[in-house]
Amino acid sequence: MSQTTAYFATAGLAYLLGSIPFGYILVRLFLRQDIRATGSGNIGATNVARSGRRGLGMATLILDAAKGAAAVLVAGWFAAVPNPLFAAAIAALFAIVGHIFPVWLKFHGGKGVATGAGAFIALAPLELGIALAIFTVVVFATRYVSLGSIAATLGFPVLLWSLRPEWRAPICFAPVVVSSVLILVRHRENIGRLVRGTENRFGKAKLPPPAQLEKQS
């Protein structure tokens, strides 16, 4: 396998792994419902949990994170590539792209936080652990999952750059930045609601269907 083919194979496999819509599958399998018609309409763990099924929400969180980590581990199979850090970063990016734009759901997916967390913990466990601590503190202090996600997403690239000099090469760091930007862009409506003070807090009662509600995280 040529080096170029190995990079493309890494990206393709990572996208396919990332595109598995676990939230949609679990709710369809166990509740015979379409999660896209519940709460915010998002397929991610927050909406699955907020809709009243916290067990399924936790399962979605774990599986979405696992597919992100698996994508980065898949990149390790292509040991012949000249830059394994770049391959891992590309795998993380395309796993997140797959979750946000899954081919199976007509490219309408989640926001990439759990998948990004799984991918990033495979890239840099310590730095992701610190970012998760930031997420936890913010969520417990504010009850805003979206604000915690935004804070952790902003913090991870800074931590990676500060603590891991080997990641400072532009070709390796750029995919990490793009991944973070994608997640932040997917939270643009949440950011607007946070500014207006109308964002939903985690732990509230079940939300109305999407027709009556703007998209939440």
Residue 78's pLDDT is: 63
3-state secondary structure of 124: coil
Separation of alpha carbons 165 and 136, rounded Å: 26
| Cα 189 from chain centroid (whole Å) | 16
Per-residue pLDDT, 5: 83
The alpha carbon of 177 is separated from its chain's Cα centroid by a whole number of angstroms, namely 14
Spatial distance between the Cα atoms of 124 and 91, rounded to a whole number of angstroms: 14
pLDDT of 41 reads: 83
Which pLDDT score is estimated for 206? 47
pLDDT beneath 70: ranges in the chain: 1, 52, 78-81, 203-217
Tokens (6 digits) for 59 = 């399962």
Buried b (16+ CB within 10 A) or exposed e, 159-195: bbeeebeebeeeebbebbbbbbebbbebbeebeebbe
Give the separation between CA 138 and CA 187, rounded to whole angstroms. Answer: 16
If you search the block for the tokens 């979206």, which residue do you land on?
146
Indicate the domain borders of the chain: 3-212
